[in-house]
Amino acid sequence: MSVSVWQLSAQEKKVSQWERFEVVLHGSAEGNPFSDVSLYADFWQQEGDTVSVQGFYDGDGRYIIRFMPAMPGVWHYATKSNLPSLAGKKGNLKCVAAPTGNHGPVRVKDTHNFMYADGMVYYPLGTTAYAWIHMPQSVQEKTLLSLEKAGFNKLRMCVFPKNYGLCKEEPEIYPFLVAKYSAGKPVFDFTRFNPAFFRHLEKRIGDLKNLGIEADLILFHPYDKGRWGFDSMPRETNVAYVKYLVARLSSFSNVWWSLANEYDYVASKTEKDWKALIRTVVASDPYRHLCSIHGSTATYFPYWMEELTHASIQDEAPVEDFGRASIVRNIYRKPVVFDEVCYEGNLSSRWGRLSGPEMLHRIWQGLIAGTYVTHGECYQWNEGSMDTIFWAKGGEWRGESWKRIVFTRSLLNSLPQPLQLADVSRDHRTATAGDNYYLIYFGRQMQDEWLFSLPAKNASCQKVKSGTKYKVEIIDTWNMTVTEYPRTFEVGKTIDYRHYDVNYGKVRLPLLPYLMLRVTALDE
């Protein structure tokens, strides 16, 4: 996808919508080009409507400007730089319609949900592999195969390596150049990035893109503890790092910015520091990719900050039981993603020992309330930090809930519109997906029958009309079956805020947990 236009200046320069166009320039490698050289380009279709894009130094005298056109048509560009050899370069490119399967970057849809730039609804169903790009290449390849097999469409992953009880691997390559080794440990030159590291990161983000996976990229985290010092770099280094990262990566349509994992555990930074870094990211990103930040359990950042596109929350309470997640949705007026709700696993730590069914249950608790939940698994079979636990390292799945993701996504993808509670704060089980389309989730509750009834209220959609006939499908979310119920139902008039079947008909249910009903109007 990389098009070096100066080599190809005589040819037609084409790029697909939401793909990457590169201007590669050559200049001096003297001094410190990372800090000494400023470079950017303006891109425009019509004068006055300009996208300004920062370039970056890629090493070996190579300077790159990357552009992701959002609109088909002819774009013009011109570079500016304090290095005369890089300044004043002009050119054109032709942006052609996106190929099938490229829907563009994910945006916020209708306050609480997500869609791709082409308008297709995006239902995030992500997982977690924080340090996967720092593992041996063979593990990384396995991770990609695992992600493809499971069908996740978002991955929480860190730029920096992880030094944590269960993840101690030394990376092969670092984001900063190693100035020297001291007692076998790298000492970094924080003024010089390591382009090879970023090329590797880009390759992996590209690999995810090919799998339809959004890279929810975590820029900082506290799991360093003095080992490399990436959690406690000077402020100007943090800013330079963020700008360099954004200049390199913002042309990837599938990148999201997650300023931190467990931001409040990063001892060196205050909330004010985080806000400044968030503003730096947003100001540097010409495409306004999704941007949020993640705290420790029940630590809610002020997600109302306008630069944040959504709330990326660690808290299990909202998705453990009914009646909770919708409160968070009602408060924020932004999409809510519970990005950490404990993980499926067998650890002794309480955050890493959910059963598979409980992990999936939490995902559905979020979904029926109009929010989203991220998966993770933490199975440890061997003692010690070298075991491969997907949540930290990627590798191979060992749990059970990942096997339900394709099925879960298929249920979501067949919705006419995103879910929300039909009768908010009154009926915590009935989600509406529009006119005459309901999912009713029973969670851990088992019962052998359900008296057919729908709330009269239906969010902002069409209310139930007396006389409407419905069919019912029994969905076993865990066993992944959809069974159409052999009879249909016709609702009568409103009785105490609800509509019952005119004959008070019931749905007989198998005595199983995690059942859901799909209730839809009969085609007539």
Q: Which is nearer to a second copy, 497 or 504 (CB)?
A: 497
Residue count of the chain, please give it. Answer: 524
Q: Does 424 bind a second copy (CB under 8 A)?
A: yes
Q: Which is nearer to a second copy, 353 or 398 (CB)?
A: 353
Backbone angles phi, psi at 501, to 5 degrees: -65, 140
Q: Does 299 bind a second copy (CB under 8 A)?
A: yes
- DSSP-derived letter for residue 417 is S
Q: Choose, by CB under 8 A, the member of 254, 326, 388, 458 that binds a second copy.
A: 326
The token pair that represents 518 in the structure block: 């799909």
Q: Does 444 bind a second copy (CB under 8 A)?
A: no
Q: Choose, by CB under 8 A, the member of 225, 304, 414, 446 that binds a second copy.
A: 304
Question: DSSP states of 217-233 as a string?
Answer: EEEE-STTTTSS-TTS-
CA 210 centroid distance within chain? 15
- DSSP-derived letter for residue 92 is E
Of 240-248, 324-332, 391-399, 472-480, the window that binds a second copy (rule: CB under 8 A) is 324-332
**Closest among 204, 200, 103, 217 to 154, alpha carbons compared:** 217
Q: Does 306 bind a second copy (CB under 8 A)?
A: no
Stretch 255-294: interaction string toward a second copy, x if CB under 8 A = ----------------------------------------
Q: Choose, by CB under 8 A, the member of 90, 279, 426, 493 that binds a second copy.
A: 426
Q: Choose, by CB under 8 A, the member of 331, 446, 451, 482 that binds a second copy.
A: 331
Q: Choose, by CB under 8 A, the member of 207, 224, 262, 315 that binds a second copy.
A: 315
Q: Does 328 bind a second copy (CB under 8 A)?
A: yes
Q: Choose, by CB under 8 A, the member of 89, 142, 248, 428 that binds a second copy.
A: 428
By three-state DSSP, how is residue 186 classified?
Answer: strand
Q: Does 165 bind a second copy (CB under 8 A)?
A: no
Q: Which is nearer to a second copy, 330 or 346 (CB)?
A: 330
Backbone angles phi, psi at 404, to 5 degrees: -95, 0
Question: What are the CB-based long-range contacts (under 8 Å, 24+) for 55-59?
Answer: 55/23, 55/25, 55/79, 55/81, 55/86, 55/247, 56/244, 56/247, 56/248, 57/33, 57/193, 57/195, 58/195, 58/199, 59/29, 59/195, 59/196
Residues 474 to 513: which contact a second copy by CB under 8 A?
A: 496-497
Which residues are near a second copy by CB under 8 A?
A: 297-300, 302, 304, 315-318, 320-321, 323-324, 326-328, 330-333, 348, 350, 424-426, 428, 496-497
